[in-house]
């Protein structure tokens, strides 16, 4: 028989496309999740998925149960929020700091949905660029940081979100535009356009250029659109998340090239104090982020 555990498992599989990642999401072993799914299939006499090179694909029976899962779980969450509001647990403050400022693209819809669900929680962004966003948590100036995981997780609750590829951004007439991928030496002599953050927080410099002994001049801009415009006008090259570039690439404003034969990849995590992680509105914020991020192109889910 269906229960909430089954419904949560179906949503996790839909969001991740991978049984192993979905199992970690719902705190089961992969074999336990497989057994759970087989039980559903045997009970209804229908297969729910098929395996493809891209991951698990829902079949009609699975699609129907997934639609049920999303509807029922949304209603359960709404009822839980109502009870928490009646119990006085629906007020507070949530100050968000961003390490990756391209995240503005998907964070705005997240904040909009959150405000609709939790009108009693004051949610805001910590303005500016910060050399050490985790320090904002330590100093009590932020409640949630979205960025790379801290070196030590002991005082924090860390929610893995997704990994993504970073692409080199070049003008349409750049001499390197026809290469299959760029290597460290290709950046020699170029001006690198970045956000105004320390070099230690720029993946291209830290992971690719410094190990190869390549040094570049930097020019900074605070807005993604400004970085792309500078690259488009041959003022330099940039390196930005692939999901943040899709709109510019689809309109042929710039070229996006892989960095290295296997690509340059990074990860996003949501980090907050452990005491705050147990609050109902913080748990719901995590669910909203996962829901919104599921729509981003080219990401790979982290368990």
**pTM listed for this prediction:** 0.74
Beta strand 55-58 with 49-52 is antiparallel
Q: How many CB atoms lie within 10 A of CB 173?
A: 9
Residue 189 has which token pair? Answer: 């002599």
pLDDT band at 53 (very low <50, low <70, confident <90, very high): confident
pLDDT band at 101 (very low <50, low <70, confident <90, very high): confident
DSSP 81-125: HHHHHHTT-S-EEEEEEESSGGGHHHHHHHHHHHHHH-TTEEEEE
**pLDDT tens-digit map of 227-275:** 999 999 999 999 999 988 988 999 999 999 999 999 999 999 999 998 8
Phi-psi group of 45: left, alpha or beta (phi > 0 → left; psi -120 to 50 → alpha; rest → beta): left
pLDDT band at 303 (very low <50, low <70, confident <90, very high): low
With tokens 């930097």, the residue in question is 218
176 has pLDDT over 90: yes
In three-state secondary structure terms, 270 is: strand
Residue pair 237/210 in contact by the 8 Å Cβ criterion: no
Sign for the CA dihedral angle at 186, 188, 189, 190 comes to positive
CA distances (Å), origin 120, targets 83, 85, 86, 115:
14, 9, 12, 8
**pLDDT tens-digit map of 111-164:** 999 998 888 889 999 977 787 888 899 999 999 999 888 877 678 999 888 889
């Amino acid at each position: 028989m269906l229960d909430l555990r089954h419904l949560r498992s179906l949503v996790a599989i839909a969001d991740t496309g991978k049984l192993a990642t979905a199992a970690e999401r719902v705190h089961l072993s992969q074999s336990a999740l497989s057994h759970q799914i087989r039980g559903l299939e045997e009970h209804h006499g229908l297969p729910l998925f098929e395996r493809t090179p891209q991951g698990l694909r829902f079949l009609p029976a699975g699609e129907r149960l997934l639609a049920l899962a999303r509807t029922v779980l949304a209603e359960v969450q709404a009822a839980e929020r109502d009870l928490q509001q009646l119990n006085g647990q629906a007020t507070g403050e949530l100050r968000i700091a961003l390490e990756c400022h391209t995240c503005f693209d998907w964070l705005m819809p997240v904040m909009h949905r959150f405000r609709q669900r939790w009108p009693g929680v004051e949610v805001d962004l910590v303005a500016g660029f910060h050399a050490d966003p985790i320090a904002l948590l330590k100093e009590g100036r932020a409640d949630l940081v979205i960025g790379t995981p801290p070196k030590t997780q002991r005082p924090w609750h860390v929610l893995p979100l997704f990994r993504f590829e970073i692409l080199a951004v070049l003008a349409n007439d750049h001499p390197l535009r026809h290469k299959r991928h760029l290597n460290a030496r290709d950046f020699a002599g170029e001006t690198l356009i970045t956000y105004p953050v320390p070099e230690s927080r720029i993946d291209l410099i830290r992971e690719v250029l410094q190990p190869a002994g390549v040094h570049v001049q930097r020019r900074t801009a605070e807005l993604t659109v400004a970085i792309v415009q500078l690259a488009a006008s041959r003022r330099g090259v940039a390196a930005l998340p692939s999901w943040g570039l899709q709109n510019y690439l689809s309109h042929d404003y710039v070229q996006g090239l892989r960095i290295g034969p296997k690509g340059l990849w990074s990860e996003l995590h949501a980090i907050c104090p452990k005491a705050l992680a147990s609050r109902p509105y913080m748990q719901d914020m995590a669910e909203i982020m996962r829901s919104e991020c599921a729509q981003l192109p080219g990401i790979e889910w982290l368990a």
